[in-house]
Structures are given as structure tokens and as C-alpha cells.
């Protein structure tokens, strides 16, 4: 029974992580948050009142958005344990459902907090901050150790892709004694956790620390190897008893029909972010082997986390200006009537990149209801400007549509344009080589909670199966696919 005071959230206000000053943190690539002192964390844990129906760990999709934790983390339990000072017990509860709390505690947008019952009419419990504090303390105290199975089953499993889905799947399969080999085409494992998410959100030592633990547990990693290109798909089928495809949804959306798209200086956001991270890992940017925003007027087309990461990275490069175009309307300041709790709140807020741009340049860099009409180049074939027009959204018989607003065209200077408009599915060679069927969205076709493809012994999970999504969904999918693989190989499973 909880020992928390019955008036916990009535007496204690929400306190989130303190942020380093935007003007200070843009001078380096270190993580931006300052952890709370232990006594404040315990107070924040006390705000969680172990409500009768805790929506925080439901993990549902409502109105096409996550509501609650897809990993079904035992949130009220470890909040109460933190309040009582039982940190190791809190870690043990957290470890039961989440393979990588240091990932989710840093980069997950926290759908658990959006679904917190307290959030109906008060600021939600600081679930994400407490989760991150638990795992960081667990590493400091030496509670996190490699898991080496006592016996091996003799079964070999190939996991293709080492993002959160692939790593979670590999970890679970290793725990039940299968011999797991993870293939990764990049120089280091981790997928987007290593290359796609900037250091100021998660430093790469944090990711590689976890990789080292998985290696110590017996998982083999083969990097710089693209299955279907460097490593024949048929060889994979011949050498392994089961295959799990976790290659992500890395085929980016483009603006191919916009005149001038062929000009130099227009790049996909993920290329920009990945090259910066690789150069940081190799040389702290000294080798110059990255797309630089230094001294340039930068325009980021698209929103979401990736667009924000482009803003923050451009500022750290030393850009002249940065502007972010959103084709959608500005969200309302408060929840609309058609966006009730416990749905994810579609409301206006500034993420870290926008806060940094405002601190440096005086305003939120985002402009809403903007359509890109043309990229304009100079005599050398490099982009120098972009032509835009404002649009107005209207409801019609076929849903939401927009019309251009006459007289609102503008030409804006831009020497670097970054396309952050999402992804349209996985890339081709691997799925074609394995003859795996696709769904209407070009993702690898596999039913939810089964993860089996049309090819016997080949499974798929993560963004490659469900499309671009959150890290917490990727870990959920990796764990669930591992359960199905174990059932396929052994006829039964203890994984959950």
C-alpha cells in the first residue's frame, strides 16, 4: 500500500527538469537538462497518487496519437518507491518493462504524462524526469549489469537494424538463450539513437554504454554491413534460424515537384543530422565532413522532432538566421473540443530548438500555413532563395484542404534548405532480396502482435512495420517481436 500523503498533488506543485540557458547551451553539444536534486525528485514522486485507473501506462492509440506508455511501464509503483527512497527497487520495477529507460527518459515525448489523470485539470506528474533519474542512478550505483544467459538454446537469430526496435528485440532474445547477431550498415550501432538524434538530447556515450552491455551479454554486432547489398539476403536465410527486420522507415519524403529542387544546398534533414553526429564522434567537427550551416540563412521545411533538431543543430553550427516552415495551422494555446484528455494535446508549445532561436533571434522561428512554391538558384547552381505563399485551410467534403492566399507570395534568402517532412517507408533492397510483402504504405507487411511476414521465419518490427513513430513504440515492437520469435523457435515462450 502506498505511503504517500493523501494530499500529495494538492500540496506539491509540478517541478520539471531545469534547462541550461539557451544562450549558454548553444555553445556546445552537451545535454541541455540539469537533473533535479534527490529531495525534489522524491517530492515529485509523491504527486503521483496511485489513482484507481491509471491511464499513464495504457499505451493506446487515440485519434492517431499515442496515449499512455506503450511499454506499460509500472509508473505508479516506481513513483511511490522513489518517494520512499527505495531507488534500487524502483529500478527493478522499471527494468521489468523497459530495456532502455535512458533512451526514453531523454528523448520520448512522454505520452504517459499526456494521459496522466492528474493532467485533466492540473500539471501532470513528472513521469519522464523520474524515469530518467532512476536509470541514471542505477548506472551510478552499478545496478545495471550485462545479462549473460546460463544456457544457450542452439538457435541463431539475425536482427537487421540496430535502432531501438532491433536492440530491444536482440536483448530479449539473448535473455532466453538464443544466439543473436545484429547487422548494422552504419559504423556504430544504435540507429537513430546514435546518428539521428543530436547530442544535446542524448549524448552518444549514453547509447554506446548500453551497446557495450549488450555485447558483454553475448550479442554480436556486425557494423558497416548492409544486408541485401554487402551481405546477400539468401546467405542470411541460410545461416540463421530466424530473421527479424528492424531497418526503420528511412526513405524520406521529398519536394521533387517543386521547381529548383535539383539545386545544391537542399538536403534531407536526416543527412544533415547524421553527418553532423558522425563528424562529432570522429573529430568534434574538425574534419569538416558534414553539411555546415555556418554563416548561412537556413530554412527548415517541416516540423516535428526532426525539424526542431535541425533548428538546434543549425544554431550550434553558427547559422546567420534560421526559419522553420509549417504547412499546417498554428495549434491553439489550449485543447480544442475535439482533442480531449487523454489524447495527446495538440497545443502550441516551443521545444528546445525554438526556445534557442527565440533567445538568439528574438522570436519563435516557426511560420505556419506556409507553402513552398519554388527554390531559386544562383549562377553556380546553388540555392539562394525560396519563394513561398501563405495558405488558408478549409473543411470540405473530402476533408481538410487549403487554398493559396492571393498577394502573399514572398521570396526569402536561403543558402541552406533542410527537408524535414517525414518518411514514406523502408528502403527497397533488403525487403526485395527477402521477397517480403509490403502493405499499402510500403511498410513490411506484418500483423500487429504477430510480427510475422509472408516468409516463414522472417519477422519485422519497429518503424519498418508500423511506419515512422516514437522510440517507445519501437522498443515495444522489438520486445513483442522477440516474444513471437521465441514462440516460433521453441514452441513456447516466457517473454512478455
Q: What is the CATH number of the domain that holds 208?
A: 3.50.50.60
Give the domain range for residue 180.
156-250+424-490
Answer for the pair 235, 181: CB distance below 8 angstroms, yes or no: no
* Distance from C-alpha of 3 to C-alpha of 84, rounded to nearest angstrom: 8
Render pLDDT for 446-456 as a digit per residue (tens, 0 to 9): 977 889 999 99
- 75 with 132, same domain? yes
In a domain, 161, yes or no: yes
Radius of gyration of the chain (CA): 23
Instruction: Supply 473's cell numbers.
Output: 513504440
Q: Is the pLDDT of residue 1 over 60?
A: no
- 44 with 107, same domain? yes
In a domain, 259, yes or no: no
- 274 with 341, same domain? yes
Instruction: Supply 283's cell numbers.
Output: 573529430
**Helices 75-83 and 38-46, packing angle to 10 deg:** 130
In a domain, 246, yes or no: yes
Question: Which of 3-12, 67-76, 102-111, 276-285 is the least confident region?
Answer: 3-12
DSSP state of 305: H
Q: Is the pLDDT of residue 4 over 50?
A: no
Question: Which of 41-55, 262-276, 329-343, 406-420 is the least confident region?
Answer: 41-55
* Distance from C-alpha of 122 to C-alpha of 127, rounded to nearest angstrom: 14
Name every residue whose Cβ is closer than 8 Å to that of residue 279 and which is 6 or more positions away in sequence: 285, 287, 288, 289, 290
Please report, to the nearest 10 degrees, the dihedral formed by the alpha carbons of residues 483, 231, 472, 463 taken in order. Answer: -100
pLDDT band at 438 (very low <50, low <70, confident <90, very high): very high
CB-based burial label for 86 (10 Å; 0-12, 13-18, 19+): middle
The CATH number of the domain where 121 resides is what?
Answer: 1.10.1060.10
Q: Is the pLDDT of residue 3 over 50?
A: no
- 283 with 405, same domain? yes
Render pLDDT for 119-177 as a digit per residue (tens, 0 to 9): 898 999 999 999 999 999 999 999 999 999 999 999 999 999 999 999 999 999 999 99
Q: Is the pLDDT of residue 44 over 60?
A: yes
Q: Is the pLDDT of residue 240 over 60?
A: yes
pLDDT band at 6 (very low <50, low <70, confident <90, very high): low
Q: Is the pLDDT of residue 445 over 80?
A: yes
* Distance from C-alpha of 339 to C-alpha of 83, rounded to nearest angstrom: 32
3-state SS of 317-355? HCCCEEEEEECCCCCCCCCCCCCCCCCCCCCCCCCHHHH
Q: Which helix (H) or strand (E) holds 114?
A: helix 111-114
pLDDT band at 2 (very low <50, low <70, confident <90, very high): very low
Please report, to the nearest 10 degrees, the dihedral formed by the alpha carbons of residues 130, 131, 137, 140 taken in order. Answer: -140
Instruction: Tell me what the mean pLDDT of segment 84-100 comes to.
Output: 97
In a domain, 437, yes or no: yes
Instruction: Tell me what the mean pLDDT of segment 462-480 comes to.
Output: 95
- 105 with 184, same domain? no
* Distance from C-alpha of 325 to C-alpha of 347, rounded to nearest angstrom: 17
Answer with the one of 141, 169, 202 that is the final residue of a domain: 141
- Sheet containing strand 458-460, edge to edge, reads 220-222, 179-183, 156-160, 242-245, 458-460
- 19 with 109, same domain? yes
In a domain, 3, yes or no: no
In a domain, 175, yes or no: yes
Q: What is the pLDDT of residue 46?
A: 92
pLDDT band at 5 (very low <50, low <70, confident <90, very high): low
Instruction: Supply 5's cell numbers.
Output: 500523503
- 71 with 113, same domain? yes
Q: How far does CA 250 lie from the centroid of its chain?
A: 13
Name every residue whose Cβ is closer than 8 Å to that of residue 263 and which is 6 or more positions away in sequence: 375, 377, 381, 382, 383
Render pLDDT for 360-376 as a digit per residue (tens, 0 to 9): 999 999 999 999 999 99
Q: What is the pLDDT of residue 428?
A: 73
- 132 with 237, same domain? no
- 434 with 402, same domain? no
Q: Is the pLDDT of residue 329 over 50?
A: yes
* Distance from C-alpha of 487 to C-alpha of 349, rounded to nearest angstrom: 44
Render pLDDT for 381-427 as a digit per residue (tens, 0 to 9): 999 999 999 999 998 888 889 999 999 999 999 999 999 999 988 98
Q: What is the pLDDT of residue 17?
A: 84
- 277 with 410, same domain? yes
Answer with the one of 380, 399, 419 that is the final residue of a domain: 419
**Best CA proximity match to 269, nearest among 108, 417, 470, 376:** 417
The tally of domains found in the chain comes to: 3
* Distance from C-alpha of 35 to C-alpha of 235, rounded to nearest angstrom: 48
- 412 with 282, same domain? yes
Q: What residues are paired with 19 via a beta bridge?
A: 33
**Best CA proximity match to 357, nearest among 413, 409, 293:** 293
- 308 with 395, same domain? yes
In a domain, 284, yes or no: yes
Q: How far does CA 364 lie from the centroid of its chain?
A: 23
Answer with the one of 381, 397, 419 that is the final residue of a domain: 419
Name every residue whose Cβ is closer than 8 Å to that of residue 24 and which is 6 or more positions away in sequence: none
In a domain, 326, yes or no: yes
Amino acid at each position: 500500500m502506498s505511503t504517500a500523503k493523501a494530499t500529495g498533488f494538492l500540496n506539491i506543485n509540478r517541478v520539471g527538469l531545469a534547462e541550461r540557458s539557451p544562450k549558454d547551451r548553444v555553445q556546445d553539444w552537451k545535454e541541455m537538462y540539469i537533473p533535479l536534486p534527490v529531495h525534489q525528485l522524491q517530492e515529485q514522486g509523491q504527486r503521483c497518487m496511485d489513482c484507481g485507473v491509471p491511464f499513464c501506462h495504457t499505451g493506446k492509440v487515440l485519434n492517431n496519437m499515442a496515449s499512455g506508455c506503450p511499454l506499460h511501464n509500472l509508473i505508479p509503483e516506481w513513483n511511490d518507491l522513489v518517494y520512499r527512497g527505495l531507488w534500487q527497487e524502483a529500478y527493478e520495477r522499471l527494468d521489468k518493462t523497459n530495456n532502455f529507460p535512458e533512451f526514453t527518459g531523454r528523448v520520448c515525448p512522454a505520452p504517459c504524462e499526456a494521459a496522466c489523470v492528474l493532467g485533466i485539470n492540473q500539471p501532470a506528474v513528472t513521469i519522464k524526469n523520474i524515469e530518467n533519474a532512476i536509470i541514471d542512478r542505477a548506472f551510478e550505483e552499478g545496478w545495471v549489469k550485462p545479462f549473460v544467459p546460463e544456457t544457450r538454446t542452439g538457435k541463431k537469430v539475425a536482427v537487421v537494424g540496430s535502432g531501438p526496435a532491433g536492440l530491444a528485440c536482440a536483448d530479449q532474445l539473448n535473455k532466453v538463450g538464443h544466439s543473436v547477431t545484429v547487422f548494422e550498415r552504419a559504423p556504430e550501432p544504435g540507429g537513430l539513437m546514435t546518428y539521428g538524434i543530436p547530442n544535446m538530447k542524448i549524448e552518444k556515450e549514453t547509447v554506446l554504454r548500453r551497446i557495450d552491455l549488450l555485447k558483454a551479454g553475448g550479442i554480436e554486432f556486425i557494423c558497416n554491413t548492409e544486408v541485401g547489398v554487402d551481405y546477400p539476403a539468401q546467405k542470411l536465410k541460410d545461416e540463421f534460424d530466424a530473421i527479424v527486420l528492424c531497418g526503420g522507415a528511412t526513405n524520406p519524403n521529398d519536394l521533387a515537384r517543386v521547381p529548383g529542387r535539383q539545386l545544391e544546398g537542399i538536403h534531407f534533414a536526416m543527412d544533415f543530422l547524421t553527418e553532423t553526429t558522425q563528424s562529432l564522434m570522429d573529430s568534434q567537427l574538425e574534419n569538416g565532413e558534414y553539411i555546415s550551416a555556418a554563416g548561412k540563412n537556413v530554412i527548415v521545411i517541416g516540423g516535428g522532432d526532426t525539424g526542431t533538431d535541425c533548428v538546434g543543430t543549425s544554431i550550434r553550427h553558427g547559422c546567420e538566421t534560421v526559419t522553420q516552415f509549417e504547412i499546417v495551422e498554428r495549434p491553439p494555446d489550449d485543447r480544442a473540443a475535439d482533442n480531449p484528455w487523454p489524447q495527446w494535446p495538440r497545443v502550441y508549445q516551443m521545444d528546445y530548438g525554438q526556445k534557442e532561436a527565440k533567445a538568439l533571434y528574438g522570436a519563435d522561428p516557426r511560420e505556419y500555413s506556409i507553402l513552398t512554391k519554388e527554390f531559386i538558384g544562383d549562377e553556380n547552381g546553388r540555392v539562394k532563395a525560396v519563394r513561398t505563399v501563405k495558405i488558408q485551410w478549409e473543411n470540405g467534403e473530402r476533408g481538410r484542404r487549403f487554398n493559396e492566399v492571393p498577394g502573399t507570395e514572398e521570396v526569402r534568402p536561403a543558402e541552406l534548405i533542410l527537408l524535414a517532412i517525414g518518411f514514406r517507408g523502408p528502403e527497397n533492397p533488403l525487403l526485395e532480396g527477402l521477397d517480403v510483402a509490403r502493405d499499402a504504405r510500403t511498410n513490411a507487411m506484418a500483423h500487429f502482435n504477430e510480427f510475422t511476414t509472408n516468409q516463414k521465419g522472417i519477422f519485422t518490427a519497429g518503424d519498418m512495420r508500423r511506419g515512422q513513430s516514437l522510440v517507445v513504440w519501437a522498443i515495444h515492437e522489438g520486445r513483442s517481436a522477440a516474444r513471437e520469435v521465441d514462440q516460433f523457435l521453441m514452441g513456447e515462450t516466457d517473454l512478455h
